[in-house]
Amino acid sequence: QPAPAEAVSAPALGAGSGLHPLTDAAANAQLHEYESSVKHAFDNLVPVLQRIAAERCEPDFVDRAQQIARAELGFDLPDEILDTAWITGLDMRRLFAACVFKTYHRMSDAFFTADPLGGRGGEAFEQFLLECGFHLMDVTPCADGRLAHAISYVLRLPYGRVRRKSYAGSLFDIENTVEKWVETELMRFREGLPNTADAPTRYLKVVMYHGSSVDPAHQGCAAHGSDDAAAARAGLERLKAFRQAIENSFCCGASVDLLLVGLDTDTDAIRVHVPDADGYCDLEHWLDAAKVYEITRGMTPAQARTRIAELVRAHAPGKAAGDALPDGMVRLIGGLIERNLSQIDYVRQYHGGGYADIGHAERFIGAGIGFEEIQLRNLTYFAYLSTVEEGAADLDVGIKIFTGLNVNRGLPVPIIVRYDYHGGVPGARERAVEHCERIAAALKARYPQLCADGMLHCLRAVRDCDAAAPIEIVGSSLDPAASGGH
Amino acid sequence: QPAPAEAVSAPALGAGSGLHPLTDAAANAQLHEYESSVKHAFDNLVPVLQRIAAERCEPDFVDRAQQIARAELGFDLPDEILDTAWITGLDMRRLFAACVFKTYHRMSDAFFTADPLGGRGGEAFEQFLLECGFHLMDVTPCADGRLAHAISYVLRLPYGRVRRKSYAGSLFDIENTVEKWVETELMRFREGLPNTADAPTRYLKVVMYHGSSVDPAHQGCAAHGSDDAAAARAGLERLKAFRQAIENSFCCGASVDLLLVGLDTDTDAIRVHVPDADGYCDLEHWLDAAKVYEITRGMTPAQARTRIAELVRAHAPGKAAGDALPDGMVRLIGGLIERNLSQIDYVRQYHGGGYADIGHAERFIGAGIGFEEIQLRNLTYFAYLSTVEEGAADLDVGIKIFTGLNVNRGLPVPIIVRYDYHGGVPGARERAVEHCERIAAALKARYPQLCADGMLHCLRAVRDCDAAAPIEIVGSSLDPAASGGH
Ligand SMILES: [Zn+2]
Ligand SMILES: [Zn+2]
Ligand SMILES: [Zn+2]
Ligand SMILES: [Zn+2]
């Protein structure tokens, strides 16, 4: 059975099922199985811990608790928390944090060992991308948890072949992206990967901003005050600045291609601001995948694909812009929209056409560099950062969100501090571990009261991203040794 | 008259003057003129401010103070400090900090407009380097102020053609250096600069550690507990790790050349750990420039050069290693030693053969990224950093040093926060300014008592390093608006 990310050229399976003719129903079923099993694992923690709490006066409490945990959660609870319960009472906050961390660890391990979304291959997509005229697709969604599934679900792309780099408000770091461009070009020159430098392909930088169709004034992008137009404008400005940076810093006609995409976080329908041949796009005009869905739902797959290509050209800004638009860009945008049709049906099939959780409902905060395994909506609030000093604003927003989600009902904020490294670089692992420790210490310094109250717990993990290896847990605020100083 | 950095192939001028036959006496005179004028400007501040303080009961104090300042320092004192002196008394701490910042600003402007060390050209050196088989020389001295003159004085290299990146204990950042390597290779591939990628030249990474011959146990490298051997070992380990990182991360025979150099900070004589043809060098053996000086002082320049090349080969580790060593590496090391002979004479001519200030005597702390204009010994304590969170250890050492130098005699610590940016990248200047402000705020958070007592003042400056432009002052803790919150 084909991995969902590979499905672009597979025959459409949706016909006759009430789905769009281009929808990949098998992929939808597989994606929903994954989403619901992971989210169930997290959402089951509170009811199971409540059952365990109800047993705490029983003489064989520890045995009963472990039996329930094994049966319901599939893992043992940490002995050191249960064993002292008879003296100090059962510390439910520590137990909750430990269970969140354990659940994350199991989910992360499954991801890196079993590749449940089949996104590690993706040769077919890479070929498609090259044929469209692009040697790398680099996507910046907003760091908002409601966009964490942008690659694997919304766009149905293989996560292993697309660069995802999330930033609050989709405001990606230009200097960092220039570095990635340099690295990418050098690989083409030195190693001919993914193609040689003389091939006329380009680096494609995509920004995905977002808004909410159900509650646009409150559930849009927090970084832009829930103002869709402002979010789109800021995204386009950043894109243009990146292109300018490349053109100014390198000679010989160096440039990049740009694409501005919006997401309705309630329905997962995208809108694409189709550019003209010069890369100019219009903030006020876009092609909406939900409309494409309606226009093409009664057609055969082949008819629908032809119509999509026409619609893409028709939405280029200016009079003759559509005709001048390169075939490759039309094909790429058409491909993204086609993939998104499956996701529109996914939300219709499994989430009633619109998510119940239109607002924040993340299960933990992820802070640092990495988190490739997070491909699910509303699972993680991301604070991509190298230091708390630079990432303080994003972290403060995360703590505010989790004050509402967790602290106000007595549960701690679980933070996973993560730092990925390149195992081929000597000492990189040790530096990554130090980096985690520095971030964890800075978190403690920034939120001293939450830490002192046991309302903030922090797991530290690193990963060798060259090795396709699972994460390695390197410490936790729950560790017995560390608990004294906490 | 040739710029000092260009002097490598100029005829030796030292003969008959009691100097070494290869010493460039004219360059020495010019370098000393620059060093003494800049240092005089800083060291004159305290005596002049004492004279001004003595006038403070005179009715025309402000006029007298400005007259003295203009005559002795060459600039006006800030009116806002003098004008309130009759009310609150003369705030000598603010006045001192303002004068240090003004003196730094004048010195920095002179450097970027007049190029007093003639280090911006350097085409002859670049040619020499290419002939030796290297397309970039990237030097990491320790961030210790006693090595700040390593490029322009100790090695007599044109600062505009050598990458200098200082780190505490010479422990350079491997990831950052790999990035620089990538950038360098791409320039060779895309633009053929400084040569095309098919030329068999290499990236040369140099580490300069240091020790003190006068007081080895106390005045060596603080980052390595004044243990020369430990400093050398750590430097070599870092060099090897960098090479490993390049070899592991890139295929097609990618590699780099390495060179380990030690500096005696009392005499400025270098020692070179000559490598063998495989790049292996011995921590226990080196070629000492002071010995080369003694061996060759009675020779003609041509004889001396031949003897230096022989000595280099003789100091390669292992039996036949010297013969196998490539001519280019021999020529490079010989060139560095020859240039250092001038500096050995410089210290003999102008500093009695050994500096009076064998320990720390820096005039200010420089924190951030940049400071190309600092090419003088013991002028600046460097804390190269992107955030206080990551650079806290280096900053704490700097504050400790300045507690001894300044605070204990009642004077504040002057810190210059600096962030250089690439002007070709849109928004880079604004981000650099924000970066300065973030660092300044983090400094205030880390040293609240010093700030509250007026014992720490902070100037913020940015610079477009693509434009060969002077620095731009963007703020200061002395600003009237900011003083309330300080
Ligand atoms: Zn957002
Ligand atoms: Zn569902
Ligand atoms: Zn040092
Ligand atoms: Zn002098």
**In a structure prediction context, what are the per-residue pLDDT tens digits for chain B, which is 486 residues long?**
334 444 444 444 444 579 999 999 999 999 999 999 999 999 999 999 999 999 988 999 999 999 999 999 999 999 989 988 888 889 999 999 999 999 999 999 999 999 999 998 899 999 999 999 999 999 999 999 999 999 999 999 999 999 999 999 999 999 999 999 999 999 999 999 999 999 999 999 999 999 999 999 999 999 999 999 999 999 999 999 999 999 999 988 899 999 999 999 999 999 999 999 888 899 999 999 999 999 999 999 999 999 999 999 999 998 787 888 999 999 999 999 999 999 999 999 999 999 999 999 999 999 999 999 999 999 999 999 999 999 999 999 999 999 999 999 999 999 999 999 999 999 999 999 999 999 999 999 999 999 999 999 999 999 999 988 999 999 999 997 644 443
Chain A residues contacting B, CB < 8 Å?
A: 174-175, 178-179, 182-183, 185-186, 189-191, 197, 240-241, 244-245, 248-252, 254, 386-390, 422, 424-428, 431, 438, 442
Which chain A residue's Cα is nearest to B245? A425
pLDDT band for position A9 (cuts 50, 70, 90): very low
Per-residue confidence (pLDDT) for residue B350, from 0 to 100: 97
CA distance A239 to A260: 8
State how far the alpha carbon of A451 is from the alpha carbons of A407, A412, A456, A484, in Å: 12, 9, 5, 12
A122: exposed, middle or buried (Cβ count in 10 Å: 0-12, 13-18, 19+): buried
> Quick check: A16 pLDDT over 60?
no
> Across residues A271-276, what is the average pLDDT?
96
Interacting residues of A297 by C-beta distance below 8 A, sequence separation 6+: A20, A21
Instruction: Measure B244 CA to nearest chain A CA, in Å.
Output: 7
Which of A254-258, A264-268, A471-475, B88-92 is predicted least confidently?
B88-92
Record: contact B189-A186, CB cut-off 8 A = yes
Residue B307 burial (CB count, 10 A): 15
SS3 sequence of chain B: CCCHHHHHHCCCCCCCCCCCCCCCHHHHHHHHHHHHHHHHHHHCHHHHHHHHHHCCCCCCHHHHHHHHHHHHCCCCCCHHHHHCHHHHCCCHHHHHHHHHHHHHHHHHHHHHHHCCCCCCCCHHHHHHHHHHCEEEEEEEEECCHHHCCHHHHHCCCCHHHCEECCEHHHCCCHHHHHHHHHHHHHHHHHHCCCCCCCCCCEEEEEEEEEECCCCCCCCCCHHHCCCHHHHHHHHHHHHHHHHHHHHHHCCCCCCCEEEEEEEECCCCCEEEECCCCCCCCCCCCCEEHHHHHHHHCCCCHHHHHHHHHHHHHHCCCCCCHHHHCCHHHHHHHHHHHHHHHHHHHHHHHHHCCCCCCCCCCCCEEEEEECCCCCCCCCCEEEEECCCHHHHHHHHHHHHHHHHHHCHHHCCCEEEEEEEEECCCCCCHHHHHHHHHHHHHHHHHHHCHHHHHCCCEEEEEEEEECCCCCCCEEEEECCCHHHHCCC
Q: Each residue of A187-222: pLDDT tens digit?
A: 999 999 999 999 999 999 999 999 999 999 999 999
Pair B335, B8: CB distance under 8 Å: yes
Instruction: Measure B164 CA to nearest chain A CA, in Å.
Output: 20
Name the closest ligand to CA A356: 2
Q: How far is CA B305 from the centre of its chain?
A: 28
∠B29-B31-B37 over CA atoms, to 5°?
100
Name the residue facing A183 among B182, B244, B428 (closest C-beta): B182
Distance B232 CA to ligand 3 centre (A): 11
Cis peptide before B301 (omega within 30 of 0): no
Residues of B in contact with A425 (CB under 8 A): 174-175, 178, 241, 244-245, 248-249
Question: For a pLDDT cut of 70, what percent of chain A falls above it?
Answer: 95
Pair B476, B460: CB distance under 8 Å: yes
Closest CA to B476 of B395, B418, B397: B418
Which is it for the CA torsion A424, A425, A428, A430, positive or negative? positive
Which is it for the CA torsion A354, A357, A360, A363, positive or negative? negative
Per-residue confidence (pLDDT) for residue A3, from 0 to 100: 42
Instruction: Kindly state the tokens that stand for A381.
Output: 């609030």
Residues of B in contact with A178 (CB under 8 A): 425
SS3 sequence of B35-61: HHHHHHHHHCHHHHHHHHHHCCCCCCH
Instruction: Measure B151 CA to nearest chain A CA, in Å.
Output: 27
Per-residue confidence (pLDDT) for residue B379, from 0 to 100: 97
Pair B160, B125: CB distance under 8 Å: no
Name the residue facing A186 among B185, B388, B390 (closest C-beta): B185
∠B108-B109-B113 over CA atoms, to 5°?
120
Pair A389, B395: CB distance under 8 Å: no
Distance A416 CA to ligand 1 centre (A): 20
Per-residue confidence (pLDDT) for residue A1, from 0 to 100: 38
Residues of A in contact with B419 (CB under 8 A): none
Pair A209, A220: CB distance under 8 Å: no
Name the closest ligand to CA A347: 2
Residue of B179, B188, B190 for testing the chain A interface, max A β-carbons within 10 Å: B190
CA distance A266 to B258: 56
- Backbone φ and ψ for A211, nearest 5 degrees, come out as -150, 175
Record: contact A428-B251, CB cut-off 8 A = no
Residues of A in contact with B174 (CB under 8 A): 425-428
Instruction: Kindly state the tokens that stand for B406.
Output: 């300044």
Q: How far is CA B76 from the centre of its chain?
A: 29
Name the residue facing B426 among A182, A241, A252 (closest C-beta): A241
Which chain B residue's Cα is nearest to A187? B250
Record: contact A388-B390, CB cut-off 8 A = no
CA distance A4 to A411: 36
Per-residue confidence (pLDDT) for residue A11, from 0 to 100: 46
Distance A368 CA to ligand 2 centre (A): 28
State how far the alpha carbon of B393 is from the alpha carbons of A159, B337, B374, B396, in Å: 38, 34, 22, 5
Residue of B184, B186, B248 for testing the chain A interface, max A β-carbons within 10 Å: B186
Distance A205 CA to ligand 1 centre (A): 18
Residue of B205, B236, B251, B387 for testing the chain A interface, max A β-carbons within 10 Å: B387
Cis peptide before B194 (omega within 30 of 0): yes
Per-residue confidence (pLDDT) for residue A279, from 0 to 100: 87
CA distance B326 to B274: 12
Instruction: Measure A159 CA to nearest chain B CA, in Å.
Output: 21
CA distance A267 to A142: 16
Name the residue facing A190 among B175, B248, B252 (closest C-beta): B252
Q: B24 an active-site residue?
A: no
Top pLDDT among A417 and B17 is at A417
Q: How many CA atoms lie within 13 A of B53 on its CB side?
A: 13
Instruction: Measure B387 CA to nearest chain A CA, in Å.
Output: 7
Instruction: Kindly state the tokens that stand for A407.
Output: 């602290």
Name the residue facing A425 among B186, B249, B387 (closest C-beta): B249
B134: left (phi over 0), alpha (psi -120 to 50) or beta: beta
Give the sheet arrangement for strand B456-464, strand by strand.
B380-384, B364-369, B413-421, B456-464, B472-476
Residue B294 burial (CB count, 10 A): 10
Pair A358, A265: CB distance under 8 Å: yes
Distance B347 CA to ligand 4 centre (A): 8
Residue A369 burial (CB count, 10 A): 20
Which residues are in the CB-under-5-Å shell of ion ligand 1? A 142, 144, 221
Record: contact B189-A191, CB cut-off 8 A = no
CA distance A327 to A330: 5
**ipTM > 0.85 (yes/no):** yes
Residue found by looking up tokens 């920004």 in the block: A207
Record: contact A185-B185, CB cut-off 8 A = no
Per-residue confidence (pLDDT) for residue B16, from 0 to 100: 55
Catalytically annotated residue among B138, B144, B264, B266: B144
Residue B473 burial (CB count, 10 A): 17
> Quick check: A484 pLDDT over 60?
no
- Backbone φ and ψ for A418, nearest 5 degrees, come out as -135, 140
SS3 sequence of A7-36: HHHCCCCCCCCCCCCCCCHHHHHHHHHHHH
Average pLDDT along chain A: 93
> Across residues A370-374, what is the average pLDDT?
95
Catalytically annotated residue among A24, A138, A144, A268: A144
Interacting residues of A54 by C-beta distance below 8 A, sequence separation 6+: none
